[in-house]
Amino acid sequence: MDSIVKKIKDLKERRKAVILVHNYQPPEIQDIADFLGDSLGLSQKAAQTDAEVIVFCGVHFMAETASILSPKKVVLVPEITAGCPMANMINAEKLRKLKGEHPGAVVVAYVNTTAEVKAESDVCCTSANAVKIVNSLDTKKIIFIPDKYLGQYVASQTGKEIIFWEGYCPIHIKILADDVGKAKREHLEAEVIVHPECTPDVIALADKVLSTSGMCNYAQKTKSKEMIIGTEIGIIYRLQKENKDKKFYPVSKHAVCENMKKNSLEKVLWSLEEMKYEVKVEEKTRRKAKRAIDKMLQYSRVD
Binding status of residue 109 toward ligand SF4 by CB under 6 A: no
Query: What's the closest the beta carbon of residue 61 comes to ligand 13P, in angstroms?
Result: 9
At residue 134, the 3 state secondary structure works out as: helix
User: Are 250 and 239 a contacting pair, CB within 8 Å?
Assistant: no
- In this complex, which beta carbon is closest to ligand SF4, that of residue 213 or of residue 259? 259
Considering CB distances under 5 to 8 angstroms, the limit depending on partner class, which of ligand 13P, ligand SF4, none binds residue 23?
ligand 13P
The DSSP string of 57-115 is ES-HHHHHHHHHH-TTSEEE-S-TT---TTGGG--HHHHHHHHHHSTTPEEEEESSS-H
Considering CB distances under 5 to 8 angstroms, the limit depending on partner class, which of ligand 13P, ligand SF4, none binds residue 38?
ligand 13P
Instruction: Report how far residue 172's alpha carbon sits from residue 147's, in angstroms, rounded to the nearest whole number.
Output: 11
- In this complex, which beta carbon is closest to ligand SF4, that of residue 123 or of residue 171? 171
Binding status of residue 59 toward ligand SF4 by CB under 6 A: yes
Side chain identity at 28, as an amino acid letter? E
Cα–Cα distances (Å) from 233 to 128, 171, 258, 283, in that order, read 18, 10, 11, 36
Task: Please count the helices (runs of H) and the strands (runs of E) in the chain.
Answer: 14, 12
Query: What's the closest the beta carbon of residue 259 comes to ligand SF4, in angstroms?
Result: 6
Find the binder of ligand SF4 among 154, 171, 210, 235 (CB under 6 A).
171
Query: What's the closest the beta carbon of residue 131 comes to ligand 13P, in angstroms?
Result: 13
Binding status of residue 150 toward ligand SF4 by CB under 6 A: no
- In this complex, which beta carbon is closest to ligand 13P, that of residue 8 or of residue 126? 126
Instruction: Report how far residue 145's alpha carbon sits from residue 255's, in angstroms, rounded to the nearest whole number.
Output: 22
Cβ neighbour number for residue 24 with a 10 Å cutoff? 26
Cα–Cα distances (Å) from 96 to 4, 85, 137, 145, in that order, read 46, 20, 21, 12
- In this complex, which beta carbon is closest to ligand 13P, that of residue 76 or of residue 260? 260
Cα–Cα distances (Å) from 194 to 38, 153, 239, 244, in that order, read 14, 12, 14, 20
Binding status of residue 79 toward ligand SF4 by CB under 6 A: no
Find the binder of ligand SF4 among 4, 11, 80, 85 (CB under 6 A).
85
Find the binder of ligand SF4 among 8, 232, 271, 296 (CB under 6 A).
232
- In this complex, which beta carbon is closest to ligand SF4, that of residue 39 or of residue 49? 39
Binding status of residue 112 toward ligand SF4 by CB under 6 A: yes
Residues that bind ligand SF4 (CB under 6 A): 59, 84-86, 112, 169-171, 232, 257, 259-260
